[in-house]
Amino acid sequence: MIAKKGCEHCQGDSCIYKVPIFSSLNNEELMNIARLIDHKQYKKGEIIIHEGEKSNAITIIRSGSAKACRYSPDGKEQIVYIFSEGDFFGEQNLLTERTASYSVEALTDLRVCTLSKNDFQPLLYKYPDISIKILTELSERMYRLENAMQGMGVRNVDYRVASLLLEFAVKYGSKTNEGIIIQMPLSREGIASYLGVARETVSRKLGQMEKDGIIRSLNNKSIILLEPEALKEAIGA
């Protein structure tokens, strides 16, 4: 991990310009905040926070992606979020005294901004819009968690795999004349750990979908959705 104090290298390209939570502020306000921000870089595989650790900063992703996960005592991993550019984490630490409820690990090389608790809290009072943006974003995340909970509670694995592909198609997909090509942020093992099933089960389900002509797997990191409509139907949407 490499850290840089302040924003002297950003030259108007600071992360705060592209982060939704600051989007309601004007230029001068942004400049003031920019001075409070530290920049850091991580290599793929590096851990940014450890579950259970005390942290005193909010971290905002400038580029790259990361997974947030929890581990059970027997070592099983459950991925709870996938963060990409513009997403933030560590906000719990700003409000409560709770330690991190998940670990965050870089899925790619990662550039982030951090803002310490002491610097951040006054901003919430000074600019109520920031709180409201955060509330909006947390609502969005809760919606996803509720969905995931429902998926794991009452849906079978086919449904969950289909949901995941559609979710990734929106976030990491681009249209081609053959279908939607998805740059998968997770390995098969990662997918398994996101859906709460065994790695082998993911292989089998994707294999079946490929036989059925719904998807085509180019390699371990990209999948083409040949029949997105079939997936939407499978999840009843």
Partner DNA sequence: CGGACCATTGATAATTGTCAAAATTCGTGG
Partner DNA sequence: CCACGAATTTTGACAATTATCAATGGTCCG
Q: What is the three-class DSSP state of 134?
A: helix
CA distance 148 to 225: 21
Among 203, 224, 227, 235, interactor with DNA by CB under 7 A: 203
Residue 117 near residue 97, CB atoms below 8 Å: no
220 scored as a contact of DNA (CB under 7 A):
yes
Within residues 57-96, the interface with a copy of itself by CB under 8 A covers: 70, 72-73, 76-78, 80, 91-92, 95-96
Distance in Å, CB of 81 to DNA, minimum:
19
Distance CA 68, CA 18 (A): 22
Regarding 216 and contact with a copy of itself (CB under 8 A), the answer is: no
The Cα–Cα gap between 83 and 64 comes to: 8
Write the secondary structure of 88-103 as one string of H (helix), E (strand) and C (coil).
Answer: EECCHHHHCCCCCCCE
Residues 183-212 that bind a copy of itself (CB under 8 A): 193, 195-196
Closest approach of a copy of itself to the CB of residue 164, in Å: 13
Q: CB of 220: closest distance to DNA in angstroms?
A: 4
Strand-pair partners of 180: 175, 225
Residue 86 is a binding residue for DNA (CB under 7 A): no
The Cα-based distances of 220 to 31, 37, 158, 190, 203 in angstroms read 42, 36, 19, 11, 11
Element containing residue 39 per DSSP (H, E):
strand 38-42
Task: Compute the least distance from the CB of residue 118 to DNA, in Å.
Answer: 38
Helix/strand/coil (H/E/C) assignment for every residue in 148-172: HHHHHHHCCHHHHHHHHHHHHHHHH
Binding status of residue 200 toward DNA by CB under 7 A: yes
* Site stretch for a copy of itself (CB under 8 A), options 26-34, 97-105, 170-178, 218-226: 97-105
Tell me which of 27, 156, 174, 177 binds DNA, using CB under 7 A: 156
The neighbouring-strand residues paired with 110 are 42
Binding mask 105-144 for DNA (x = CB under 7 A): ----------------------------------------
Q: By the criterion CB under 8 A, which residues form the site for a copy of itself?
A: 70, 72-73, 76-78, 80, 91-92, 95-96, 98, 101-102, 124-125, 128, 131-132, 134-136, 138-143, 145-146, 148-150, 152-155, 193, 195-196, 236
